[in-house]
Amino acid sequence: MYGALVALTAVIFAVVAYYTVSNELYANLDASLSRAGTSLLAVIRKEQQSVNTPLAPVKRGREKRPFNVFEFLSRSSLRNFVGPIPVPAANSTADQDPVWSAVYEHMLLNSSSYMFQVVDPKGVLVWRSDNMLTDSMPTFESLESQGAPIVDDWIFTYYTLRGTRYRLVVTRTETAQIAAAYPAAEVDATLRSLFALMLYAIPFLILISVVVGWFLARGSLKPVDVITQSARRITAEHLSQRLPMPPTNDEIARLTQTLNDMIARLEASFTQIRQFTSDASHELKTPLAILMGELEIALRSKQTDDEVQATLHSCLEEVERLANVVQSLLDLSRAESGQELIEFKPLRFDLLTLDVCEDIAILAEPKNIEVTTSIDSDITVLGDKMRLHQLLLNVIENAVKYTMPNGKVSVQLFADGRNAVLCIMDTGIGIPGELQSKVFDRFFRVDKSRSQSVHGTGLGLSIVHWIVIAHKGSIAVDSKENVGTTFTISIPLYNDSAKDSTA
């Protein structure tokens, strides 16, 4: 594909270059012939204006020596009005007449190739150059009768003389007709040489381009091969490996960095899945083991009715615990897949918070924990009543669970700009700084040895985090070990506070 593209490009370039050079060469030849004829015509006009003598027909005799155009102009039938023509010295061209300069340039310097002919207005041949002693070129009228294209009294055509094709330029004025010709073979030879050069050079250039392109492609794609081989070695069991970074900061390096970032995210996801599987198994294993043990004991021993009731009551508690874990996992799974629908309605968040605090105060009485509230009134948010109730219950209940007996739990709710801000502060065991970023992970426990007496699924704060995000809010935690923990939750206020809902 690359070779075909290079070949097509080279051929197109060669064709365009050939026709461009061809047109330029022929255009320059036409311009040179036009300048030569115009220069000679200017000389005739200049001398004719000074002498005002008509042109006389040329009378040639046999001359044994070479004929010189300027010698002829100085002593031939034109001498009656032309007079002697000064020939400038080789080193005095700076002071010569510009008209004569053009004549010398086009006639003297190229006298062997250029051919000139002068015809008077009556069609009588007046003068022709040395290389046309026995031949003459067609006149303007003869070419016009043949249908040659005329452009402002100029005819550009081709004329064959003695088997040689000439480019012929004839101009007609009231003074004379000037014909200038030059062999077209010289331009054709130049074009043939250019064509031959392209014919041999283009395949060579294509071959060189393909070979160089192959080496460049091989060198450029080598990092891709290294990345491919390294990527094949990275599996689910070896996600800690990374692709080698190229030394250059190019597209391959940026692609490698992107792939490494993706592998890092996959590693984090796999680690989270493994941790989730381990934690879920542990949470489900404990109540199942208790159920199996109590049922085995009930089957092996004869129990009274009271003992059977106690066993059934204990089994029911473990079943409820399993049901809570399963339901929490189901809620989180639905939330992450977008299947959990939340019904947003305006509601009095302050009244809902008061109701939850009253319920929590009852749970705190056995531990003699003081629950204090500071709740502003008329705080309305747009949210789901059931989910916000779940949020308040999980956070405040957590504060009571992890607070030592005779401790304190404080709940504050106030409006801060466009948000309703809820602060839950406790004097519990606290959370180490390096673990505070993990409190919203599933099955996270601060210290199982310190909180083994606290019953829970480890999913409460994960659900709280999801509910807050679903309500376009934010949640933050600030804690110190053995001092206490503060959770700060912000939820946008409802714009129309006049629409109250029954909490």
Q: How do residues 148-179 score in pLDDT, each as one tens digit?
A: 888 888 888 888 888 888 888 998 888 788 88
User: Which residue type occupies 245?
Assistant: M
Q: How do residues 255-303 score in pLDDT, each as one tens digit?
A: 888 888 888 888 887 777 776 676 667 667 767 877 788 777 777 777 7
Radius of gyration of the chain (CA): 53
Query: What would the two tokens of residue 497 be?
Result: 């506070």
Tell me which of 135 and 275 has the higher pLDDT: 135
Is residue 100 very low, low, confident or very high in pLDDT (cuts 50, 70, 90)?
Answer: very low
Q: How do residues 417-471 score in pLDDT, each as one tens digit?
A: 899 999 999 998 888 877 877 788 766 666 554 444 555 556 778 888 888 988 9
- CA distances for 390 relative to 129, 330, 356, 426, angstroms: 115, 15, 9, 19
Is residue 351 very low, low, confident or very high in pLDDT (cuts 50, 70, 90)?
Answer: very high
Q: Which domains does the chain have, with CATH numbers?
A: 2-192 (no CATH), 251-337 (1.10.287.130), 345-492 (3.30.565.10)
Q: Which of 101-105, 439-443, 466-470, 472-476 has the lowest mean pLDDT?
A: 101-105
Q: Where are the alpha helices (DSSP H) in 301-429?
A: 305-337, 349-364, 385-401
Minimal CA–CA distance to 282: which of 328, 323, 325, 320? 325
Question: 177 — phi, psi (to 5°)?
Answer: -110, 125
Q: How do residues 205-233 score in pLDDT, each as one tens digit?
A: 888 888 887 777 777 777 777 778 888 87
- For the entire predicted model, the pTM comes to 0.46
Residue 103 pLDDT greater than 50, yes or no:
no
Which residue reads 């890092």 in tokens? 264
Cα–Cα distance, 128 to 180 (Å, whole number): 10
